[in-house]
């Protein structure tokens, strides 16, 4: 029987709808640009494994919780720029992520990535059969694998060929178990070849600084969300993170390119949009939602909202659902 959900193609222009649409990964996204937003996914579910292509037109920050039962292998396109938990992402590095771990990613416009998901048991079995069982371990958090020679290019190239085929003709995979199995085997074979070229990753001073700054932002962000009714100040974030205002400012500028204040405003705009998308104009007003998220000047709120999402908040609330 055909597997109707083998190929899923999604194009979004609303960052607050990401959690409604994403498969296999639990994701929350915030746009960091005041420009039109577009993000695309192609999910190719192969049964024992899955391949996910992701691209974005604008600078975004996302918080992603990986699949609870699968290891994630993450690679990026040759022109992509971004950080994963503060570590620089580049084509010669393959990242592997622990099942169920939450990662913080900041990417620039034009970003393209592939995520390959496979169960630890499947990966362990394949390595043991090749006499490489000592290479297997479940990653702790997110681990970079620095590769020699061609880096991740062959694996990325194969993944993109499969994604392009799935995008052009979804039925090729939806209706054919043999095609799904063949794609799974090819990806596993090339992944194991790629892992066999690994070298001990050398963490640069920039990576260490980035990871430290990312932890500061993550703590500050968690505190702000937990205490949003208190409208926390920058001084509250400094106390929560245990760093000075100068260090906090540097961390946000380094990772996000924004001040802490500007980012928290953007975060509250996203939460306001989520509320408006779910509300009814019969029972909710834009004013009520704006006040709930700490926007007291409604003209400024409408202007900032329109810059971020390309429409007025009243239009979001009136949209037929």
Give the mean model confidence (pLDDT) for residues 115-127: 92
Three-state secondary structure of 61-95? EEEEECCCCCEEEEEECCCCCEEECCEECCCCEEE
Among residues 127, 151, 150, which one has the least CA distance to residue 138? Answer: 127
pLDDT at 76: 92
Phi, psi of 12, deg, nearest 5: -120, 145
Among residues 160, 239, 243, 148, which one has the least CA distance to residue 196? Answer: 148
Helix (H) or strand (E) holding 134: none
| Degrees, nearest 5: CA angle 211-216-217 | 95
Higher-pLDDT residue of 267, 241: 241
Give the distance from CA 281 to its chain's centroid.
Answer: 32
Query: What is the residue whose two structure tokens read 């292509």?
Result: 53
pLDDT at 275 over 50: yes
pLDDT at 43: 93
pLDDT at 283: 84
pLDDT at 18 over 70: no
DSSP secondary structure code for residue 157 in this structure = H
Query: What is the residue whose two structure tokens read 């006499």?
Result: 131
Helix (H) or strand (E) holding 1: none
- DSSP output for 239-277: HHHT--HHHHHHHHHHHHSS-HHHHHHHHHHHHHHHHHH
Angle of helix 177-195 relative to helix 120-129, nearest 10 degrees, comes to 70
Q: What is the band of 2 on the pLDDT scale with cuts at 50, 70, 90?
A: very low
Do 234 and 192 touch, CB atoms closer than 8 A?
no
Structural tokens at position 277? 């998308």
Higher-pLDDT residue of 107, 27: 107
Q: What is the band of 61 on the pLDDT scale with cuts at 50, 70, 90?
A: confident
pLDDT at 3 over 50: no
> Among the listed ranges 60-74, 168-182, 198-212, 219-233, which one has the minimum average pLDDT value?
198-212
Q: CA quadruple 138, 141, 6, 20: dihedral positive or negative?
A: positive
What is the C-alpha separation between 239 and 219, in angstroms, rounded? 11
pLDDT at 28 over 60: yes
Mode of pairing for the β-strands spanning 39-45 and 71-76? unpaired
Q: pTM to 2 decimals?
A: 0.74
Q: What is the band of 69 on the pLDDT scale with cuts at 50, 70, 90?
A: very high
Q: What is the band of 27 on the pLDDT scale with cuts at 50, 70, 90?
A: low
What is the C-alpha separation between 247 and 241, in angstroms, rounded? 10
pLDDT at 174: 92
Do 146 and 199 touch, CB atoms closer than 8 A?
yes
pLDDT at 15: 65
Q: What rounded mean pLDDT belongs to the chain? A: 84
What is the C-alpha separation between 287 and 4, in angstroms, rounded? 43
Higher-pLDDT residue of 233, 68: 68
What structural domains does the chain harbor? 7-202 (2.60.120.10), 206-318 (1.10.10.60)
Give the mean model confidence (pLDDT) for residues 77-101: 89
pLDDT at 319 over 80: no
Percent of the chain with pLDDT over 90: 24
pLDDT at 153: 85
Q: What pLDDT digit, counting tens, does each position of 186-229 carry?
A: 999 989 888 876 554 555 667 778 888 888 988 988 888 787 66
Side-chain-facing half-sphere of 64: CA atoms under 13 Å: 25
Do 32 and 256 touch, CB atoms closer than 8 A?
yes
Reduced to 3 states, what is the DSSP secondary structure of residue 224? Answer: helix
Higher-pLDDT residue of 147, 68: 68
Among residues 65, 145, 55, 143, which one has the least CA distance to residue 104? Answer: 65
């Amino acid at each position: 029987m055909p597997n109707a959900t083998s190929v899923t193609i999604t194009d979004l222009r609303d960052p607050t709808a990401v959690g409604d649409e994403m498969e296999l990964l639990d994701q929350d996204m915030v746009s960091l640009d005041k420009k039109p937003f577009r993000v695309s996914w192609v999910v190719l579910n192969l049964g024992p494994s899955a391949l996910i292509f992701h691209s974005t037109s604008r600078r975004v920050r996302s918080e992603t919780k990986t699949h609870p039962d699968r290891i994630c292998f993450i690679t990026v396109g040759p022109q992509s720029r971004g950080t994963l938990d503060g570590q620089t992402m580049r084509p010669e590095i393959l990242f592997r992520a622990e099942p169920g771990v939450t990662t913080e990613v900041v990417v620039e416009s034009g970003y393209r990535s592939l995520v390959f998901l496979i169960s630890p048991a499947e990966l362990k079995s394949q390595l043991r059969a090749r006499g490489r069982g000592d290479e297997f371990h479940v990653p702790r958090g997110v681990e970079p694998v620095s590769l020699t020679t061609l880096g991740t290019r062959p694996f990325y190239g194969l993944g993109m060929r499969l994604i392009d085929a799935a995008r052009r003709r979804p039925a090729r995979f939806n209706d054919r178990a043999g095609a799904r199995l063949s794609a799974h085997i090819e990806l596993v074979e090339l992944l194991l070849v790629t892992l066999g070229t690994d070298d001990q990753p050398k963490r640069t001073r920039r990576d260490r600084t980035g990871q430290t700054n990312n932890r500061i932002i993550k703590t500050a962000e968690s505190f702000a969300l937990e205490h949003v009714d208190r409208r926390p100040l920058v001084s509250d974030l400094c106390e929560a993170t245990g760093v000075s205002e100068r260090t906090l400012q540097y961390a946000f500028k380094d990772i996000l390119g924004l001040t802490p204040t500007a980012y928290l405003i953007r975060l509250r705009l996203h939460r306001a949009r989520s509320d408006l998308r779910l509300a009814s104009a019969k029972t909710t007003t834009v004013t009520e939602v704006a006040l709930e998220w700490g926007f007291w000047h409604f003209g400024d709120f409408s202007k900032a909202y329109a810059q971020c999402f390309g429409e007025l908040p009243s239009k979001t609330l009136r949209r037929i659902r």
